[in-house]
Amino acid sequence: MRMTFMVARRLLHAFLLILAVLVLNFLLIHLAPGDPADVIAGEMGGATEEMLADIRKNYGLDKPVYVQLGLYLGRALQGDLGQSFFYNAPVLDLVAGRAGATILLVTTALLFAILVGTLLGVLASHKPKGIVSGLVTLISVIGYSAPIFWTGMMLVILFAWVYPIFPIANMYDITKGGGIFSRMIDILYHLVLPAVTLGIVYLAQYARLTRASMLEILGSDYIRTARAKGVAEIKVYGHHALRNAILPVVTIAGLQFGSIISGAVLVETVFSWPGLGTLAFDAILARDYPTILGILFFSSVLVIVANLITDFIYRLVDPRIRKEG
């Protein structure tokens, strides 16, 4: 009962956040300099009178602001995020068509960062002043200070000239035929560089975090007890210590989902990855406001969903929270 209540509360909370993002979009359209109809048309001053009249009618721009807001929210909640006059397609279709590529990139990068980061962190905690610790510090310094698009470009230069083994652009090779399986392998192959570029920043953070919490946990009483009982060292690390050390990583990874999407916008642009980031880039060049706002809305929804999932995972991993409800 308590569990259902908790889930219901979380979902309501998520829904309110989604509404708030829509209200923000609405405000942005109206705060922008110029005629809101022009903003919605996405062509500053270039839209035909007919088109503008159509928009004014559909969005009720001659009515009071609260009526406009109501109309806007009503349309958005029915999945109508407006029309892109640049692509001549509904914004929702555009965004939905590109979202898969971004979600694939972001989750791969995140999984890569969590897996490799935790592993490096554990190794580093084994020898706090050893080579791995030094390596982790070095990667985190670079990952923290280098612009992510620059790191990506350096990898492009490296893998286009010096070791041309990975593809540096696009999501798949259109000249290649074959079945679904070979297509999937091809996508994974194209995914390597963008995912590594995006993941490397977080990898170093997770490694540092794991190292710090492992060091703290390895000094605690229950680890000493485990060792005294003669539990194998690998089991002490893997089973006893890591299970607790990974909790902060899960929390941080969930909170960082928004910033990873921000990074994805840049990485996608560098590697011509056909996701929301490249769509945003093209939409900005074309001053296609409905599409840009649609992407902002959709990626915020992604973050909200990711936060929900993190919350549930956290409850799964940490039995203490599960009991408290």
The piece of 19-27, 180-188, 220-228, 312-320 that touches other proteins (CB under 8 A) is 19-27
Stretch that binds other proteins, among 29-37, 108-116, 186-194, 246-254 (CB under 8 A): 29-37
Cα-based angle 107, 111, 114 (whole degrees, multiple of 5)? 135
- Is the Cβ of residue 149 or residue 314 nearer to other proteins in the bound state? 149
Nearest residue (CB) to other proteins, 141 versus 185: 141
- Does residue number 219 form part of the binding site for other proteins (CB under 8 A)? no
Q: Does 32 bind other proteins (CB under 8 A)?
A: yes
Rounded CA separation 111/270 (Å): 21
Beta-carbon-side half-sphere exposure of residue 97 (alpha carbons within 13 Å):
12
Is the distance from CB of 89 to CB of 286 less than 8 angstroms? no
SS3 for 75-117, per residue? Answer: HHHCCCCCEECCCCEEHHHHHHHHHHHHHHHHHHHHHHHHHHH
Q: Considering the rule CB under 8 A, would residue 309 count as an interface residue with other proteins?
A: no
User: Helical H runs in the chain?
Assistant: 2-31, 36-41, 49-58, 65-77, 91-126, 131-145, 148-157, 180-218, 221-228, 233-235, 242-255, 257-271, 276-285, 289-317, 319-324
Question: Per CB under 8 A, which of residues 149..188 are in contact with other proteins?
Answer: 149-150, 153-154, 156-157, 160-161
Among 60, 119, 307, 318, binds other proteins (CB under 8 A): 307
The residue (of 172 and 298) whose beta carbon lies closer to other proteins is: 298
Question: Considering only residues 71, 73, 103, 212, which one is a binding residue for other proteins as defined by CB under 8 A?
Answer: 212
Q: Is residue 251 close enough to count as binding other proteins by CB under 8 A?
A: no
Sort 79 into a burial class: Cβ within 10 Å, 0-12 / 13-18 / 19+: exposed
Interaction residues for other proteins, span 274-303 (CB under 8 A): 280-281, 284-285, 287, 289, 292-293, 295-296, 299-300, 303
CA–CA–CA angle 23, 29, 30 (5° rounding):
90
Binding site for other proteins (CB under 8 A): 17, 20-21, 24, 28, 31-33, 39, 141-142, 144-150, 153-154, 156-157, 160-161, 212, 215, 255, 258-259, 261-263, 265-266, 269-270, 280-281, 284-285, 287, 289, 292-293, 295-296, 299-300, 303-304, 307
